[in-house]
């Protein structure tokens, strides 16, 4: 039964991390944390970005949960589910690294999907990068991508209302 609970906690954490990533991307990275995130939205030379500091924050969160679940660190105060929450955060970080940095931004490998969900992910994230600056925008999640047609419609409405400035026409 404890194995089932551990697997459930890991899966639930991975799913919950998409909401955590969406909300932190929308309200922190495109808010008061724009200073770290800005270079991700602008052309730049070099392999690393200030935005990569957010990966260190994610790793620190995962490590903290591992520590909270560790009897070596916490002794009798160890909380066993924390270890599996830490694993879930780690798994989400790996998925994020492969999907966002690898597939979408092609930092690790070169492959442009021609169809399917991978293509939808790439399109949704490119539409996220269609705005100039931190205001407005769509598709703040990293793994679950909305329909690009709906995202384009939302961007057009934002442009018409003066909420977002678009790099190129979104048709």
Are 97 and 151 within one domain? Answer: no
Are 18 and 56 within one domain? Answer: yes
- Tell me what pLDDT residue 170 has: 60
Are 120 and 106 within one domain? Answer: no
Containing structural domain, residue 72: 1-111
User: pLDDT, tens digit, for every residue of 112-129?
Assistant: 999 999 999 999 999 999
User: pLDDT, tens digit, for every residue of 46-79?
Assistant: 889 999 999 999 999 999 999 999 988 888 889 9
Are 55 and 119 within one domain? Answer: no
DSSP state of 165: E
Coil, helix or strand at residue 40: helix
On average, the pLDDT of the chain sits at 93
Q: String of b and e for 9-32 (b: at least 16 CB within 10 Å)?
A: bbeebbeebbeebbebbbeebbee
Are 27 and 94 within one domain? Answer: yes
Out of 89, 111, 133, pick the residue that ends a domain: 111
Out of 111, 145, 163, pick the residue that ends a domain: 111
User: pLDDT, tens digit, for every residue of 76-89?
Assistant: 889 999 999 999 99
For residues 160 and 86, give the distance between their C-alpha atoms in angstroms, rounded to a whole number.
Answer: 43
User: pLDDT, tens digit, for every residue of 156-166?
Assistant: 999 999 998 98
pLDDT band per the 50, 70, 90 thresholds, residue 21: very high
pLDDT over 80 (residue 8): yes
For residues 84 and 12, give the distance between their C-alpha atoms in angstroms, rounded to a whole number.
Answer: 10
- Tell me what pLDDT residue 171 has: 54
Out of 111, 134, 161, pick the residue that ends a domain: 111
How many C-beta neighbours within 10 Å does residue 153 have? Answer: 13
- Tell me what pLDDT residue 167 has: 83
- Tell me what pLDDT residue 44 has: 81
How many domains does the chain divide into? 2
């Amino acid at each position: 039964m404890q194995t089932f609970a551990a697997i459930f906690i890991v899966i639930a954490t991975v799913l919950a991390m998409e909401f955590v990533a969406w909300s932190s991307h929308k309200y922190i990275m495109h808010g008061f944390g724009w200073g770290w995130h800005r270079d991700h939205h602008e052309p730049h030379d070099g392999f690393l970005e200030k935005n990569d500091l957010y990966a260190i924050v994610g790793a620190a969160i995962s490590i903290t949960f591992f520590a909270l679940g560790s009897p070596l660190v916490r002794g009798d105060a160890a909380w066993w589910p924390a270890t599996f929450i830490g694993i879930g955060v780690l798994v989400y970080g790996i998925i994020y690294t492969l999907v966002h940095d690898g597939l979408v931004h092609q930092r690790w490998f070169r492959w442009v999907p021609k169809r399917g969900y991978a293509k939808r992910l790439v399109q949704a994230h490119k539409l996220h990068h269609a705005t100039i600056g931190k205001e407005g925008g769509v598709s703040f999640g990293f793994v679950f991508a909305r329909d690009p047609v709906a995202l384009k419609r939302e961007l057009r409405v934002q442009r018409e209302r003066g909420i977002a400035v678009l790099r190129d026409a979104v048709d």
